[in-house]
Amino acid sequence: MSVAEPVLRTARRFWQTALDMLYPRVCHGCQDPLPEDAPHQGKAAWFCGSCCEELVEIQAPYCCVCGEPFDGAMTEAFVCKNCAGRRIAFDFAVAGFKADGPLREMILQFKYGRQLTLRAGLADMLAAALSDPRLAGEDLRQWLLVPVPLHWTRQYWRGFNQSWELCRRLSAHTGIPAAQILRRHSRTSPQARLHRKKRLQNLKRAFALRKPRPWHTLPPLQGRRILLVDDVLTTGATAHECAKILKQEAGAEKVVVITVARG
Binding site for Zn ion (CB under 5 A): 27, 29-30, 48, 51, 63, 65-66, 68, 80, 83
**How long a stretch of residues is the chain?**
263
Query: Between 27 and 232, whose beta carbon lies closer to Zn ion?
Result: 27
Q: How far is the CB of 87 from Zn ion (least distance, A)?
A: 13
Query: Between 26 and 116, whose beta carbon lies closer to Zn ion?
Result: 26
Query: Between 65 and 122, whose beta carbon lies closer to Zn ion?
Result: 65
Query: Between 144 and 237, whose beta carbon lies closer to Zn ion?
Result: 237
Query: Which residues, in sequence order, are CB contacts of 223 under 8 Å at separation 6+?
Result: 251, 252, 253
Q: How far is the CB of 232 from Zn ion (least distance, A)?
A: 15
β-pairing, 254-262 vs 92-98, is: parallel
Query: Between 69 and 177, whose beta carbon lies closer to Zn ion?
Result: 69
Q: How far is the CB of 224 from Zn ion (least distance, A)?
A: 25
Q: How far is the CB of 94 from Zn ion (least distance, A)?
A: 12
Cα separation, 177 vs 246, whole angstroms? 16
Q: How far is the CB of 91 from Zn ion (least distance, A)?
A: 13
Query: Between 80 and 140, whose beta carbon lies closer to Zn ion?
Result: 80
Q: How far is the CB of 105 from Zn ion (least distance, A)?
A: 10
Q: How far is the CB of 195 from Zn ion (least distance, A)?
A: 20
Cα separation, 102 vs 231, whole angstroms? 15
Query: Between 92 and 207, whose beta carbon lies closer to Zn ion?
Result: 92
